[in-house]
Amino acid sequence: MKAVATSFGMDKALKALGLEGVNQGTSTGSDWFSSGDEIASYSPVDGQLIGKVTTTTKEDYEKVMQAATTAFKSWRVMPAPQRGEVVRQFGEELRRLKEPLGKLVSYEMGKSYQEGLGEVQEMIDICDFAVGLSRQLHGLTMHSERPGHRMYEQYHPLGVVGIISAFNFPVAVWSWNTALAWICGDVCVWKPSEKAPLCGVACQKIAARVFKENGLPEGISCLINGDYKVGEFMTTDGRVPLVSATGSTRMGKIVAQTVGARLGKSLLELGGNNAIIVTPDADIKMTVIGAVFGAVGTAGQRCTSTRRLIIHESIYDQVKNAVVDAYKQLRIGNPLDENNHVGPLIDTDAVAMYQKALDKVVEEGGNIVVPGGVLEGEGYESGCYVKPAIAEADNSYEIVQHETFAPVLYLLKYSGDVENAIEVQNGVAQGLSSAIMTNNLREAERFLSHAGSDCGIANVNIGTSGAEIGGAFGGEKETGGGRESGSDAWKVYMRRQTNTINYTTDLPLAQGIKFDL
């Protein structure tokens, strides 16, 4: 089968990534195989078929796990700086293929081309971070209460790390996990979203080439494909000590229960219901830029997308009018055209969810300020393009309490001081990202204090979306509590061990206990 996608040079991008025809969706490295059904990947950009991927069966999965568990035995004993050199080479390959991979991300997922390139840049950045980390993996030393003894802590690799990623960041989230896991001495088995399977195949091919050129065994980087049933192969498998899962809160609860039942570890990055607080001391221009990009970027399909704008009553109309005016300037269309601001939703199911959310907010008493709707006609043939919408609402509304993965922004009004706004901000089940727009130092510090935002990410004078590699990424409450990417997030991919060494000829016991023979 020849892929029919030609939009904005996609045929050349697919060729550069080696994705022509039907792609086998199971891999242990350079070894590709699959005996399952086919997944057809259609672009939400224009509805065209990009390619097909075969799914992983239970028998295929067993072959993957045999390769992974065998590879771990040799990969874990390679010095970390040598593992870092392999990751460095992987980052260089990503630099070389940044344009075609970024174009594939944009075309298969629907985000803008610049965001697609930005996602690949995040992959490059985490490789750079991981390379430096490979010479800094550390433990602690502490004083023993027993003379002639030394105590210290060290970290060892876990083994096979299972990664389940979502469609909205089809390559970056995998790299956040796998670059750190590889540095730590782990091997990885990745199940990408069935809504963006070709991105997974492309990344695996790049990684496999690097591992093969370094004479490394099959199984360090593995790929499986399919729906949630394939994900269950990992969540129920005692050979996978850590499962990192990104997706909805509903999915995360299932993963946590399943992995927890076998006393495994889970790293969860789940839903967000992110808010920007706008105080009377806010810079309105900065607020509009942060709020609009946060709400419509990636068509509202980021876990860090801005869902709620909490505005002080004294400036409510001013901010509302400014945001509404900004929405009039948005250009919706093919995301590979850099003149457009907003691309499509991932599929028609997402469109239906968007429409239900708008109906629900009106049903609960909300007021639609910027009407939504599905776009039709030339350029919108996929049926996945919608208008970003704005609604005045109350934080107590059921629809506001839930995450809608679409460009729907709720305007909420608060009175009094910033404590009241923080209470509204924290008054949802999710706790991923948050922001405050203010030039008042006291308000900013109050927002960042122990009694302020309860989210894993709290920003001042920038929006809720986006994250830098250097900081740990993740959230609290129903967001799952996991941390990926920078800071000391590497520790979750390792097991901690406390060591005590006696370098004397005696064996004193702790706490002065006597045990003489």
DSSP H or E segment with residue 391? strand 389-392
Catalytic residue among 269, 403, 478, 484: 269
Taking the alpha carbons at both ends of the chain, their separation in whole angstroms is 79
Amino acid identity for residue 458 in this structure: A
Q: How far is residue 511's CA from residue 517's CA, in Å, rounded to a whole number?
A: 18
Crossing angle for the helix pair 80-96 and 98-109, nearest 10 degrees?
70
Catalytic residue among 184, 203, 222, 303: 303
Q: What are phi and psi of 222, to 5 degrees?
A: -125, 150
Q: How far is residue 256's CA from residue 235's CA, in Å, rounded to a whole number?
A: 9
Q: Are 462 and 504 in contact (CB under 8 A)?
A: no
Residue 127 annotated among the catalytic residues of the structure? no
DSSP H or E segment with residue 392? strand 389-392
Sequence-ordered list of residues with C-beta below 8 angstroms from that of 75, at least 6 positions apart, any chain: 83, 182, 185, 186, 187, 216, 217, 220
Residue 184 annotated among the catalytic residues of the structure? no
Q: How far is residue 272's CA from residue 62's CA, in Å, rounded to a whole number?
A: 35
Q: Are 375 and 384 in contact (CB under 8 A)?
A: no
Amino acid identity for residue 238 in this structure: G
Q: How far is residue 276's CA from residue 211's CA, in Å, rounded to a whole number?
A: 44
Q: How far is residue 107's CA from residue 105's CA, in Å, rounded to a whole number?
A: 6
Q: How far is residue 40's CA from residue 43's CA, in Å, rounded to a whole number?
A: 10
Query: What ranges make up the beta strands (E) of 165-247?
Result: 187-191, 221-223, 242-246
Amino acid identity for residue 140 in this structure: L
3 state DSSP class of 199: helix
Measured on CA atoms in the order 228, 130, 431, 438, is the torsion positive or negative? negative
Q: Residue 438 has which token pair?
A: 């203010």
Residue 405's DSSP bridge partners are none
Residue 434's DSSP bridge partners are 275, 458
Q: Are 404 and 349 in contact (CB under 8 A)?
A: no
Amino acid identity for residue 81 in this structure: P
**Which residues belong to the active site?**
269, 303
